[in-house]
Structure 1
Amino acid sequence: MQLDIDHLKGWIGSEEVAGEILTSGLAERFEATLDGQGDSATGAAAPVMIHYCLGQLAALSSALGEDGHPPRGGFMPPVPLPRRMWAASTLEFTGDIRIGDMVERRSRVTDVEVKQGRSGILCFVTLDHAYVSGGIPVLNERQTIVYRDNAAAPSPQAQAQAMAAEKGEHVRTVTPTPPLLFRYSALTFNGHRIHYDLPYATGVEGYPGLVVHGPLQATLLARFAQELAGKRPARIGVRALSSLYSTGDMMLNARWEGDEMLLWTCTPAGPVAMEARVQW
């Protein structure tokens, strides 16, 4: 498939503003989904990475595509490739989102790039997000979304044969159960069926199981780092390297590298799925 890159680059500079009050109820549901017990009182600092649950597009159900995604176009460039995935983010925290605050996100498309990958053509869209909580800037995020063609998804066995991940100094096992993936999809208002509809994920898109969300993996790694260090991160860089599925356990790994921490997710025998570097 040939992409009209000049047409897609016309979306560079496109902006969107969204806002939502972070309620105690949402904070409680977020913590319950992740088996946490944070403070949900008004004025308390909200859990790290809860921003992915705020200000999501409320597209009509009748407007969703077969895959559960909203229609292409509008704020985002209408990339015609069928598969869309979260690829990477760099997050810089300048303050805390507070429970009870109005949280506003201002988003801007900053780049559109087309590359030829091993599985075919890829289109990368870069977004800058600026978050304000109660009128105070608290977070800047540069995010990359990748679009690709309908290449066959590698099985966990094929990934494991490609490269085994090392074991971290600190390791935690998380089982990506269907209820966990469904609840996270609900929290982030993500209708993409690969995360909760097993017959669709396996029979239509060809995955070996439900796909574990990239932002969910990033959130689990950020919370693991915070727990190990005993303080909230100031900067997080995350990068998706391969997919994780609901076919087995997911391992959270971490090791210190000086004042920084390197973290990664993987299956017990498979390759690194997501890598994160955290600074304080």
Structure 2
Amino acid sequence: MSGFEDWLGRSQSTSDVLDAGRSNALDLALGGDGILKAGDPLPALDHWLHFWDVRPPQGLGADGHPAKGGFLPPVKLPRRMWAGGRLTFHKPLFLGDEVRRTSTIVNVAEKSGRSGTLVFVTVRHELAGRDGLAVTEEQDLVYREPAPGVLPMPTAMPAPPAKWTRSVDPDTVLLFRYSALTMNGHRIHYDRPYAMAEEGYPALVVHGPLQAALLIRLAASSLDRPIASFEFRGQQPAFDGVSLHICGEPEEGGAQLWTQQGESRNMIATVRTA
């Protein structure tokens, strides 16, 4: 952890134009109609399809991510993933508008887990559109040691009992499309030999943000009030080749949500309405 305190408070800003084509491409990939146009409100979490961090080949690590260093601290642990996050939606963003994102490193913490040493880096993003601050988001990134052995493959099972359920086949085409739309080069999502031989997974890994996007879409289509906040946390990886169940239970002021493969929950989330 020596020297990481120098990264606390580090900030950078970038801007992007919210492209209706990207939102429509994701909507179609998830079975929607893809009829959004400039001027429509941006669907929740579709800002993740923007603000690409595109690097030349020499600027990439062996895992396909941008090489360590630069804005984020150069944590030496080899594995990294998006562990969870919290979002507050203050005002809508609109397709076709230019939006500025200001990112700040707010915490770096070392912990010990079942798999060994973990380092969590929390980044706060503030997105401002035509009417000022629209979204505040905190992302928790985790760096860890390689997992010992190969993780087990979940057994396909029917959807669990829940008020809201839908099932998705997270096949290679969907994973490739989401990687492309988010410019996510992490090889665990599309390079099966790498995912299995190098990182010890039994199959390709379903993106955490893709699971979060499916959960918030389920909530938005089921609730009768606008979503004010969304919090999510990954519990264990989900893989291609097994149906992924998207589940939700309404409660006063919002809902509890989760994704599930087999008997275990992969991601849990809470949504609160305005």
TM-score scaled by length of structure 1: 0.92
Aligned to 1:187: 181
Amino acid at match of 2:61: G
Given that residues 55 and 66 in structure 2 are in contact (C-alpha distance below 8 angstroms), is that contact kept between their aligned partners in structure 1? yes
Amino acid at match of 2:214: L
CA distance in 2, matches of 1:48, 1:197: 28
Amino acid at match of 2:231: G
Match of 2:265 among 258, 261, 272: 272
Q: Write the mapping of 1:5-84 to structure 2, written as runs, cut at 5 A.
A: 5-84=1-80
Of the structure 1 ranges 5-14 and 79-88, higher mean CA displacement relative to structure 2 is found in 5-14
CA distance in 2, matches of 1:137, 1:33: 30
Given that residues 83 and 148 in structure 1 are in contact (C-alpha distance below 8 angstroms), is that contact kept between their aligned partners in structure 2? yes
Identity of aligned residues (%): 38
Of the structure 1 ranges 110-119 and 230-239, higher mean CA displacement relative to structure 2 is found in 230-239
Aligned to 1:132: 128
Amino acid at match of 2:139: Q
CA distance in 1, matches of 2:43, 2:178: 14
- Cα deviation, 1:243-266, whole Å, max 9, x if unaligned, reads 100030000111112222000001
Query: SS in structure 1 opposite 2:227?
Result: coil
Query: SS in structure 2 opposite 1:127?
Result: strand
CA distance in 1, matches of 2:129, 2:196: 40
- Cα deviation, 1:60-115, whole Å, max 9, x if unaligned, reads 12321221011101110000101101111110001112111012110000010001
Aligned to 1:171: 165
Given that residues 48 and 232 in structure 1 are in contact (C-alpha distance below 8 angstroms), is that contact kept between their aligned partners in structure 2? no
Given that residues 208 and 247 in structure 1 are in contact (C-alpha distance below 8 angstroms), is that contact kept between their aligned partners in structure 2? no
Match of 1:155 among 133, 140, 152: 152
CA distance in 2, matches of 1:214, 1:140: 19
CA distance in 2, matches of 1:33, 1:129: 26
Of the structure 1 ranges 122-131 and 148-157, higher mean CA displacement relative to structure 2 is found in 148-157
Given that residues 147 and 199 in structure 2 are in contact (C-alpha distance below 8 angstroms), is that contact kept between their aligned partners in structure 1? no
State the 1:24 CA deviation: 2.4
Given that residues 205 and 240 in structure 2 are in contact (C-alpha distance below 8 angstroms), is that contact kept between their aligned partners in structure 1? yes
Query: SS in structure 2 opposite 1:56?
Result: coil
State the 1:135 CA deviation: 5.3
State the 1:137 CA deviation: 1.5
CA distance in 1, matches of 2:84, 2:98: 26
CA distance in 2, matches of 1:28, 1:279: 25
1:206 aligns with 2:200: yes
Aligned to 1:249: 243
Aligned to 2:212: 218
Given that residues 87 and 231 in structure 2 are in contact (C-alpha distance below 8 angstroms), is that contact kept between their aligned partners in structure 1? yes
Of the structure 1 ranges 91-100 and 132-141, higher mean CA displacement relative to structure 2 is found in 132-141
Of the structure 1 ranges 245-254 and 231-240, higher mean CA displacement relative to structure 2 is found in 231-240
Q: 1:66/1:266 Cα in 2 relative to 1: closer, same or farther (>3 Å)?
A: same
- Stretches of 4+ aligned residues off by more than 4 angstroms: none
Aligned to 2:142: 146
Given that residues 38 and 47 in structure 1 are in contact (C-alpha distance below 8 angstroms), is that contact kept between their aligned partners in structure 2? no
Aligned to 1:115: 111
1:260 aligns with 2:260: no
Of the structure 1 ranges 78-87 and 51-60, higher mean CA displacement relative to structure 2 is found in 51-60
CA distance in 2, matches of 1:36, 1:233: 20
State the 1:125 CA deviation: 0.4
State the 1:166 CA deviation: 5.3
Q: Write the mapping of 1:229-244 to structure 2, written as runs, cut at 5 A.
A: 229-244=223-238
CA distance in 1, matches of 2:224, 2:60: 42
Query: SS in structure 2 opposite 1:6?
Result: coil
